[in-house]
Amino acid sequence: MKIGFLIIDMQAIHLEGLEKKAIDKACEYINYVSDILRSKGQMIIHIQDIEGISEINKDQYQTIPEVEMKDTDVVITKEFSNAFWNTGLEQLLKEQGIELLIISGTAAEHCVLFTYNGAIERGFKPVILQNGVLSTNRDAISSLYRDRNVVSYPVIPYLVNE
């Protein structure tokens, strides 16, 4: 099974207002899953929301250094909450034969949720990485875990070693 791992909006500008401890914890899970999936030739995709970017603030729109990025990773930029809307994400995933999408990043109640729903609408099987999503609203994370499919990090090695 081909897996795509989406890391959504892990950029300084979108992480304002979040505790450093929460960000570090999410990055630990994101990096762990990324390493396993990379080692098995699966696709890692960093989604960067560039709405509002300018020459003055462009550094704040880079993925934070706590999220490990490799040359094999793909970066897709977006201007809407749903990472599929007006981007090449759907085409890329279909070209690569991706079936399962593991979704992580920020913000649980916006970009993560809207991308999850967008994946379903396009025929992919999305799951949320438990402990790999962030929000300034704790209830949004609880709701996401309650109402959507979730995968825990210890399951990832089993998914890629079928």
**pLDDT in the model for residue 162:** 57
Q: Tokens 């994400």 correspond to what residue?
A: 89
Q: Which domains does the chain have, with CATH numbers?
A: 7-160 (3.40.50.850)
Tens-digit pLDDT string for the chain (162 aa): 899 999 999 999 999 999 999 999 999 999 999 999 999 999 999 999 999 888 889 999 999 999 999 999 999 999 999 999 999 999 999 999 999 999 999 999 999 999 999 999 999 999 999 999 999 998 999 999 999 999 999 999 999 985
**pLDDT in the model for residue 138:** 86
Nearest residue to 83 (alpha-carbon basis) of 7, 136, 27: 7
| Helix, strand or coil, per DSSP, at residue 12 | helix
Whether the CB-CB separation of 47 and 86 falls below 8 Å is answered with no
- Kindly report the number of other CB atoms within 10 A of residue 12's CB atom: 15
| Helix, strand or coil, per DSSP, at residue 69 | coil
**pLDDT in the model for residue 137:** 92
Rounded CA separation 17/110 (Å): 15
In sequence order, which residues have a C-beta less than 8 Å from that of residue 106 and are 6 or more positions away?
A: 8, 9, 10, 14, 15, 18, 26, 112, 133, 134, 135
